[in-house]
């Protein structure tokens, strides 16, 4: 499959957007995306326990560097909610090491200990980014295909719960005692009982806007970016409550206190906020763990986003995943080197980019330009943004990631998918993302094992390719088709599909199990081939049992189509035939003694009978062809062998099929 432009049917390559003719449209789109990105970058940075400007740094560098390295036309690079949990964990775990390394002063030890942890995490982020560059150079982009869909959704749902567990307290104006997600959730009733009314008013009103604005169907309201609508209300409300100044107020007889700590803390100018990384924590156990987490989760999220945006691209242009990893890695190296958050191709801003009419990657560049100009020229406006408004945006993001609908839709695909999904969520919340994802993959492999997948089948592809008429390539699967062996199958499909004259038919009738991940990815291939004007067809699932009513559910073989060959032969041919049947791959046979008369005897009115043997075998289609060829070429020409054979298509129920 080519990584170049693949236009949708009906659009010629000459009509693909070009920089020279699309830049004016991309400037406008870049500005609209900037309006969405600004509050999200600040909120994600604060939620990650990074300085607010770190999110801006990431988006600016993502806009300035990534578009010229990646060929992804419509993705927007910037900090993402999906990495919040990793960043928070890294800052917390590097705190003690920062203290040991001397990041303490008598004036304000806590501030300097945070600075040390922050700089140590930046060092980890630089190394993780270099690892992402290595992923791109060594063409590892295909690894995104390894992760089961239910595990990825479980990971994202767990991230949503982690975000919600922390940001809900900030929205209420309460500083929680707990640090871990499950403990933070348990502390929510205490925060609700001790909320700060003015801060909560800002947060709740922001939430109402975020949830309510998409419900308004009027075209004018649909064009308003929800994050900017939040700021348009929250900033004046913050000024009305005089959050700029430390003061106390009375609400229903109870005294509360608010002040500048309720607003975004943006100190100094843009260049004064630059911080360099400290690499002394990279080779520690904590450092190695977070290098792997930032590199793997960041790469996975970025590639998944790029893949999703490719499906939304009106021109169906295809991202080269290896170039995408290279671009993200280089941009992340630069971002972490000056104090910025790690970035990915972010799905929310990228979707807004498409919805607002972006044509080329210039929109990503211009969104970075507008961010730079805003922060450099009017930083005082950022300092008026209430933290509760940013927390509301992240609570909204968390609720969407971990929506009850995600659990319901996963269950509809199959009960086993819900088990994998929930296991990933629970173990991520109880430990960390790396353990949660690994546990989800292990749970899926265990379920496959109990569904009859042998250990040696997990990572091997047993497929046969046969060229047929009309440039059709028939791929017959003789083993399981599951997420662990999807990558070699994908490469086989891409290699054949690179020839635009080729049509593909994949026969899964002999595959004992086809899991949900493979079913969904084959469905994606079918859509892509259709858009390119090629034929792609999946056959052989009629005899499989679907594990749910969902069209993309896993399939387990029930009745299996095979060939039944019935052979009538004289007794002298029996042993010769049986030995050859075993040699050609038959795994069993039945024989019975018969007597009868043939065509020549009946024609001469000779009604005497002759003893013979009836042999019956059940074999796959390819072995059946070999047996018939042998009988035709070796036995029928031999005068001493009198043989008749017939072949039938039948369905059988195998012992491991249910």
Please report the pLDDT score of residue 5 as a whole number.
37
Instruction: Please provide the distance, in angstroms rounded to a whole number, between the alpha carbons at the two ends of the chain.
Output: 36
Give the whole-angstrom CA distance, residue 432 versus residue 89: 8
Confidence of residue 416 (pLDDT cuts 50, 70, 90): very high
Cα distances (angstroms) measured from residue 600 to each of 247, 287, 603, 604, 640 = 114, 86, 5, 6, 15
* 97-101 mean pLDDT: 90
Most confident of 4-13, 117-126, 505-514, 645-654: 117-126
Identify the H or E element spanning 564: strand 559-570
CA quadruple 214, 218, 219, 225: dihedral, nearest 10: -30
> Which domains are seen in the chain, by residue range?
45-147+188-400 (no CATH), 463-556 (3.30.750.24), 560-653 (3.30.70.120)
Rounded to whole angstroms, the Cα distance separating 243 from 252 reads 19
Please report the DSSP string for 367-421 in residue order: HHHHHHHHHHH-HHHHTTSBHHHHHHHHHHHHHHHT-HHHHHHHHHH-HHHHHHH
pLDDT band at 7; cut points 50, 70, 90: very low
Residue with structure tokens 């039944």?
564
What pLDDT does 4 receive? 38
Joined tokens for residue 176: 């929680």
**pLDDT score, position 113:** 77
> Side-chain half-sphere of 69: how many Cα atoms within 13 Å?
22
pLDDT at residue 108, rounded to an integer: 67
> Quick one: tokens of 260?
């500048």
If pLDDT is split at 50, 70 and 90, which confidence band does 600 have? Answer: low
Contact 85, 401 (CB under 8 A): no
**Mean per-residue pLDDT for 286-292?**
96
Residues 522-565 pLDDT 10s: 999 998 898 888 999 999 887 788 889 899 999 998 766 788 99
pLDDT of 656 = 46
- List, in order, residues 6 or more apart from 553 with CB less than 8 Å away: 413, 414, 516, 519, 546, 547
Asked whether 483 and 489 are in contact (CB, 8 A), the reply is no
Task: Report CA Rg, the chain.
Answer: 32
Measured distance CA(328)–CA(606) in Å, rounded: 86
Per-residue b/e over 27-60, b at no fewer than 16 CB within 10 Å? bebbebbbbbbbbbbbbbbbbbbbbbbbbbbbbb
pLDDT over 90 percentage in the chain: 67
Q: What is the DSSP string of 466-511?
A: EE-STTEEEEEE-S-B-GGGHHHHHHHHHHHHTSTT-EEEEE-TT-
At residue 621 the predicted structure's pLDDT band, cuts being 50, 70 and 90, is confident
Taking only the tens place, the pLDDT of each residue in 403-415 is: 999 999 999 999 9
Residue 11, pLDDT score: 39
Q: pLDDT exceeding 70 applies to what percent of the chain? A: 93
Reported as a single tens digit per residue, the pLDDT across 198-210 is 999 999 999 999 9
Question: For the segment 631-646, what is each residue's pLDDT rounded down to a tens digit?
Answer: 889 888 888 888 889 9
Give the angle subtended at the CA of 166 by the CAs of 160 and 168, to the nearest 5°.
Answer: 90
pTM for the full model? 0.81
What's the half-sphere exposure (Cβ side, CA atoms, 13 Å) at 25?
16
- The residue whose two tokens read 């043989």 is 643
């Amino acid at each position: 499959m080519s990584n170049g432009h693949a236009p949708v049917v009906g659009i010629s390559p000459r009509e693909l957007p070009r920089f020279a003719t699309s830049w004016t449209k991309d400037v406008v789109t870049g500005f609209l995306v900037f309006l969405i990105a600004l509050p999200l970058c600040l909120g994600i940075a604060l939620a990650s326990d990074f300085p607010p400007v770190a999110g801006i740094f990431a988006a600016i560098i993502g806009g300035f560097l990534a578009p010229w390295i990646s060929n992804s036309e419509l993705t927007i690079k910037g900090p993402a909610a999906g990495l919040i949990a990793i960043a928070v964990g890294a800052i917390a775990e590097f705190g003690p090491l920062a203290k040991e390394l001397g990041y303490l002063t008598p004036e304000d030890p806590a501030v300097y200990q945070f600075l040390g942890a922050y700089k140590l995490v930046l060092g980890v982020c630089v190394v993780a980014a270099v690892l992402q560059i290595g992923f791109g150079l060594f063409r590892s982009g295909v690894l995104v295909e390894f992760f089961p869909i239910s595990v990825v959704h479980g990971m994202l749902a767990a991230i949503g719960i982690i975000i919600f567990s922390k940001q809900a307290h900030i929205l209420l104006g309460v500083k929680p005692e707990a640090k871990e997600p499950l403990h933070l959730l348990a502390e929510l009733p205490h925060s609700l009982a001790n909320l700060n009314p003015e801060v909560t008013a800002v947060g709740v009103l922001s939430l109402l806007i975020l949830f309510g604005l998409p419900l308004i169907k009027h075209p004018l309201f649909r064009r308003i970016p929800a994050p900017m609508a939040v700021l348009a209300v929250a900033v004046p409300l913050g000024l009305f409550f005089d959050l700029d100044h430390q003061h106390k107020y009375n609400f229903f007889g109870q005294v509360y206190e608010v002040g500048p700590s309720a607003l975004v803390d943006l100190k100094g100018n843009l260049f004064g906020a630059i911080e360099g990384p400290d690499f002394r924590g990279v080779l520690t156990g904590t450092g190695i763990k977070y290098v792997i987490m930032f590199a793997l989760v960041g790469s996975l999220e970025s590639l998944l986003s790029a893949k999703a945006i490719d499906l939304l691209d009106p021109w169906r242009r295809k991202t080269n995943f290896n170039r995408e990893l290279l671009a993200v890695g280089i941009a992340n190296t630069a971002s972490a080197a000056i104090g910025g958050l790690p970035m990915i191709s972010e799905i929310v801003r990228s979707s807004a980019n498409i919805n607002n009419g972006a044509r080329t990657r210039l929109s990503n560049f211009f969104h970075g330009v507008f961010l730079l100009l805003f922060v450099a020229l009017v930083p005082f406006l950022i300092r008026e943004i209430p933290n509760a408004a940013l927390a509301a945006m992240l609570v909204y993001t968390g609720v969407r990631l971990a929506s009850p609908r995600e659990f319901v839709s996963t269950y509809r695909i199959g009960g086993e998918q819900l088990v994998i999904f929930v296991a990933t969520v629970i173990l991520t919340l109880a430990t960390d993302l790396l353990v949660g994802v690994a546990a989800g993959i292990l749970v899926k492999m265990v379920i496959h094992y109990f569904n009859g997948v042998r250990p040696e089948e997990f990572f091997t592809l047993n497929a046969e390719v046969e060229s047929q008429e009309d440039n059709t390539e028939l791929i017959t699967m003789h083993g399981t088709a599951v997420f662990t062996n999807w990558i070699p199958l994908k490469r086989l499909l891409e290699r054949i599909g690179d020839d635009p004259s080729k049509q593909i038919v994949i026969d899964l009738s002999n595959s004992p199990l086809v899991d949900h991940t493979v079913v969904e990815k084959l469905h994606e291939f079918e859509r892509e081939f259709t858009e390119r004007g090629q034929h792609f067809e999946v056959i052989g699932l009629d005899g499989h049992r679907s594990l749910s009513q969902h069209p993309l559910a896993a399939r387990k073989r029930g009745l299996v189509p095979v060939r039944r060959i019935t052979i009538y032969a004289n007794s002298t041919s029996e042993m010769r035939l049986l030995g050859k049947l075993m040699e050609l791959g038959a795994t069993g046979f039945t024989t019975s003694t018969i007597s009868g008369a043939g065509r020549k005897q009946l024609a001469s009115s000779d009604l005497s009978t002759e003893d013979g043997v009836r042999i019956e075998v059940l074999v796959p289609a390819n072995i059946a062809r070999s047996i018939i060829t042998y009988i035709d070429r070796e036995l029928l020409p031999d005068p001493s062998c009198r043989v008749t054979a017939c072949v039938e298509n039948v369905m059988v129920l195998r012992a491991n099929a249910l």
